[in-house]
Amino acid sequence: MTDRYTVSKALELARDSADERYGVLLARGTLELGYYKPDGTDPQQPHTQDEIYVIQSGSGVFVNGESRQPFEAGEALFVAAGVEHRFEDFTDDFAAWVVFYGPDGGEDSLV
């Protein structure tokens, strides 16, 4: 197992994945590190785990439930499990590191 995850390896995994958008670099326990590079539209559906996006490149608008906010490279965005979310009006160079973690239903399900 490696502990180095490069953008070039991430892009390769995303391009070679079934949806050609998301590639998994690391999966360990409840943790998953991925790379997301959609082309034109973002067809995501809500996920069962909590999630963090770290914007690698590009900019656009992030829809998180009822909230809409602009984003740009270098920002981190949180999405709770089960919440509808997507990226809109993003630039062609948009890409993000993605971290899924915790139990199905999110951390709040432990309370």
pLDDT in tens, 7-45: 777 777 777 777 778 888 889 999 999 999 999 999 999
Inside any domain, residue 27:
yes
What are the tokens at 94? 């948009």
Inside any domain, residue 102:
no
Domain that holds residue 71: 15-35+45-95
- DSSP one-letter code for 5: -
Inside any domain, residue 57:
yes
Inside any domain, residue 6:
no
| Whole-prediction pTM | 0.87
Q: Could you report the per-residue pLDDT of 41-99, keeping only the tens digit for each?
A: 999 999 999 999 999 999 999 999 999 999 999 999 999 999 999 999 999 999 999 99
Cα–Cα distances (Å) from 63 to 16, 39, 49, 66, 86, in that order, read 27, 17, 17, 7, 5
Inside any domain, residue 89:
yes
Inside any domain, residue 5:
no
Inside any domain, residue 74:
yes
Q: Is the pLDDT of residue 101 over 70?
A: yes
Q: How many domains does the chain have?
A: 1
Inside any domain, residue 40:
no
